[in-house]
Structure 1
Amino acid sequence: MNTIKSSGVDCFEDINHLSQCLGEKINRAEGFCSTHVNPSYGEGLITATKLSKEISVYIFDFVLKQDLEWHFKKAPLRSIDFIFCLEGSAYHKFNAYSYEQINFRQNFIVSRNKKSSSTIKFGAHTPIKMTLISYKPDFNKIGSKDDFGLRKLAFRILSDTYLKEEDYRYSGRICFRTSNFVSEVLKYSFDSSSEILFKEAAIINTLASQIDRHDKGVTGKYKDAPIRQFEIDQILATVNFISNNLSENLSVARLQKISGLSPDKLQKGFKYLFNKSVNVYVTEKRLDKAAQLIYETDFNVSELVYSVGFSSRSYFSKIFKRYFGVLPSQCVTNPQLINKAIAS
């Protein structure tokens, strides 16, 4: 395992520490710097950007051959770190406590005081695309005459909300809106004025989206659910996958791997959200899709069976009849029967 220690005060200094451990030479320009991962340690790119004196952005786009622990030592400034894994996952801990996983597309926020150390761990052989937006306010300026403008107002409120004397960690829900903004952060370069401005806008949007999801998530409608909020979003993401891939293998074992949840969590989530088991949910979605195809296409029964992921024509006909009250062969001949069956 590789270990790096840095202050977390200056992002360029942090990139220098990362470069000394696993990188190559540092490429530096006004406002940003980067280093490629040395092939002996993995492959990819690490970038740091200074949006202002108080806001720094780290972008990790790499695969490592060994685990990496990045320790932020005790620093003279309190800070809030907004972390988002667009791909892969990482881990976080305060001081000597155990790690908590930063899941794929999960809204993860860490606020640490001046006496705390904070560690982020990246696992080996895990493709990572992650942003870390670090906010370190200058308390001497907050509320001063020089402290004006919409962004300053927003961060003054942000400081009051997140910067507490004690450590704070928020493991929130999966957020697809945030993932779109993070994709934009990774997409744009520093090659032109327009690219730089688009990148800055994407960073601010990422930050705003993570704050918004935190504020809504604290009092969310799923707070009494038998599983955690981010697990509910993993199930909703799995539901989206099911809808878009009905012709594929959608066994519980495969959906478990796709969702990252245990079979028990997966079944509990479907029962809570839909009052159905996973298999019943998948079967009904396939039957609904078959009914749609009957009405919108000229498919025969065999083509329907293939298109919605069934392997047996006789089994398909049997459960279709049980679900709609009419045989699929009858509906193929007279599609209006589907409308009557649904209406009844």
Structure 2
Amino acid sequence: MKIVYLKSNNIENIFNQLQQDLGGSLVTRPQEYNLQLDNNYVRGEIRGISFKNNIAFMEFDLIFSEDTLIINNMPVSNPIHFMYCAQGKVAHSFGIKGEKRLLNQFQTGIFSCDPSKDTTLFFEGNENIKLSNIMVDTHKVTSGDEGSDLLQKQLLKTFMPKNNNETFAYTGSYNLQIAEKMQQLEAITQKGLVRNLLTKGIVHLILAMEIQQHKEDKKNAKNNFGSLSREEIEDIKEMANFIKNYPEIQYSLKYLSKKTGLSPAKLQEGFKLLFDRTVTDYIRNIRVETAEHLIKTTDLNISEIVYSVGLTSRSYFSKIFKEKYNCSPKYYQDHQNPIAATA
């Protein structure tokens, strides 16, 4: 088992240490770092970016050839870690011998501790692990930005250890929306200031979603909600992908329940958890988005598109399309191609 020690809050120092221990090629931009790795020990990449309000973001997309520990030891002050596992699974503990808490795919975790404790991540060998970590240093509330200072003070109050405890640990429910935001991060192709602003916006949105997930989980625990198992979440995710691929099918809760083996109540709970939509809202949204894509990429007329996505009423389609895109389908189609608009 290999152990990597990180002993700095500074993201530049962190990446220099990672390169020294893991090898690879390090590419840097202003406040942004990318470590490409392809050797006998580890393959993949580690990305990172720092922001002026004492927030840093790191993303690990790695396959280690053997079990590996990455230990964060910050002797002066430890940040709050907002983690999300988008692929595989990773375990967290405070210290090598501390209690392990497993983050499965699509699961969130929030961890903080006294500087005397280490934050330890366990990466299993020969498994593709994709993990994001937003680190908020609440011990340096000196940005001068009133909004950022207030945010850090609130995070300090909520997520730092209390009542003489040395640690704070929370592992949350499954959340597919954060995975989509991580995909948006990877899709950013702009450079310079635009890239920085887009990245900062998405990272702050992920942070907000993790905080909201914690809030909802506390509420659900109090009300005995959140009964879905990981396997049931996987079944619902698979069903959601099926709906994306075949929007033309006339779906019903009875049909979906029979296909997944889940009760209608669990289906509704799962779709609300993963997509913040009811089952019906999700299907309708998929149909509208599919139709919008067909308008842009095919020569089908509006009526043909309506039927191809499983709808029967053109007027109803026009209504829900306008609600989402603020224009009629015909107007949208005409303005995709200047030649068609004047024909």
TM-score range relative to shorter protein:
0.5 to 0.7
CA deviations over 1:232-270 (Å, ceiling 9, x no partner):
644543553576689xxxxxxxxxxxxxxxxxxx99x86
Residue of structure 2 equivalent to 1:197: 197
Residue of structure 2 equivalent to 1:161: 158
Give the residue type in structure 2 aligned to 1:156. Answer: K
Residue of structure 1 equivalent to 2:126: 125
Superposition map of 1:61-100 within 5 A:
61-95=61-95, 96-100=97-101
2:45 is equivalent to residue 45 of structure 1:
yes
CA deviations over 1:266-323 (Å, ceiling 9, x no partner):
99x869837xxxxxxxxxxxxxxxxxxxxx99xxxxxxxxxxxxxxxxxxxxxxxxxx
Separation in 1, partners of 2:141, 2:35:
33
SS in 2 for 1:212: helix
Separation in 1, partners of 2:155, 2:217:
16
Separation in 2, partners of 1:15, 1:32:
10
Give the residue type in structure 2 aligned to 1:104. Answer: Q
Q: Please report how far the alpha carbon of residue 88 of structure 1 lies from its aligned counterpart in structure 2 after TM superposition.
A: 1.9
Separation in 1, partners of 2:43, 2:119:
25
Separation in 2, partners of 1:192, 1:228:
43
Residue of structure 2 equivalent to 1:209: 209
**Which segment drifts farther, 22-31 or 195-204?**
22-31
Q: Please report how far the alpha carbon of residue 216 of structure 1 lies from its aligned counterpart in structure 2 after TM superposition.
A: 1.4
Separation in 2, partners of 1:81, 1:229:
25
Aligned partners of 1:54 and 1:138 also within 8 Å: no
5+ residue gaps, structure 2:
247-259, 268-306, 309-343
SS in 1 for 2:156: helix
Question: CA 1:234–1:219 in 2, change beyond 3 Å: closer, same or farther?
Answer: farther
Give the residue type in structure 2 aligned to 1:273. Answer: K
Question: CA 1:234–1:169 in 2, change beyond 3 Å: closer, same or farther?
Answer: farther
Separation in 2, partners of 1:88, 1:222:
29
SS in 2 for 1:119: strand
Question: CA 1:110–1:135 in 2, change beyond 3 Å: closer, same or farther?
Answer: same
Question: CA 1:218–1:207 in 2, change beyond 3 Å: closer, same or farther?
Answer: same
CA deviations over 1:82-126 (Å, ceiling 9, x no partner):
111222221111122232211111111111221211100111222
**Which segment drifts farther, 181-190 or 163-172?**
181-190
Q: Please report how far the alpha carbon of residue 225 of structure 1 lies from its aligned counterpart in structure 2 after TM superposition.
A: 5.6
Aligned partners of 2:41 and 2:64 also within 8 Å: yes
Superposition map of 1:176-325 within 5 A:
176-188=176-188, 191-220=191-220, 224=224, 227=227, 233-234=233-234, 236-240=236-240, 273=266
Aligned partners of 2:68 and 2:125 also within 8 Å: yes
Residue of structure 1 equivalent to 2:6: 6
Superposition map of 1:103-122 within 5 A:
103-122=104-123
Q: Please report how far the alpha carbon of residue 37 of structure 1 lies from its aligned counterpart in structure 2 after TM superposition.
A: 1.2
SS in 1 for 2:24: strand
How many aligned residue pairs are there? 253
Separation in 2, partners of 1:69, 1:190:
34
Give the residue type in structure 2 aligned to 1:101. Answer: L
**Which segment drifts farther, 35-44 or 216-225?**
216-225
Aligned partners of 1:173 and 1:217 also within 8 Å: yes
Q: Please report how far the alpha carbon of residue 189 of structure 1 lies from its aligned counterpart in structure 2 after TM superposition.
A: 5.1
Aligned partners of 1:172 and 1:229 also within 8 Å: no
2:28 is equivalent to residue 31 of structure 1:
no
Aligned partners of 1:71 and 1:117 also within 8 Å: yes
SS in 2 for 1:40: coil
Separation in 1, partners of 2:168, 2:63:
29
Q: Please report how far the alpha carbon of residue 50 of structure 1 lies from its aligned counterpart in structure 2 after TM superposition.
A: 0.9
Aligned partners of 2:73 and 2:115 also within 8 Å: no
Residue of structure 2 equivalent to 1:152: 149
SS in 2 for 1:92: strand
Separation in 2, partners of 1:36, 1:208:
29
Aligned partners of 2:2 and 2:66 also within 8 Å: yes
Separation in 2, partners of 1:226, 1:38:
40
Residue of structure 2 equivalent to 1:312: none
Question: CA 1:74–1:200 in 2, change beyond 3 Å: closer, same or farther?
Answer: closer
Separation in 2, partners of 1:229, 1:139:
39
Give the residue type in structure 2 aligned to 1:110. Answer: F
SS in 2 for 1:204: helix
Separation in 2, partners of 1:28, 1:245:
39
Residue of structure 1 equivalent to 2:340: none
Aligned partners of 1:79 and 1:163 also within 8 Å: no
Separation in 1, partners of 2:83, 2:169:
11
Q: Please report how far the alpha carbon of residue 210 of structure 1 lies from its aligned counterpart in structure 2 after TM superposition.
A: 0.7
Question: CA 1:212–1:70 in 2, change beyond 3 Å: closer, same or farther?
Answer: same
Separation in 2, partners of 1:135, 1:273:
35
SS in 2 for 1:220: helix
SS in 2 for 1:219: helix
Residue of structure 2 equivalent to 1:288: none
Give the residue type in structure 1 aligned to 2:266. Answer: L
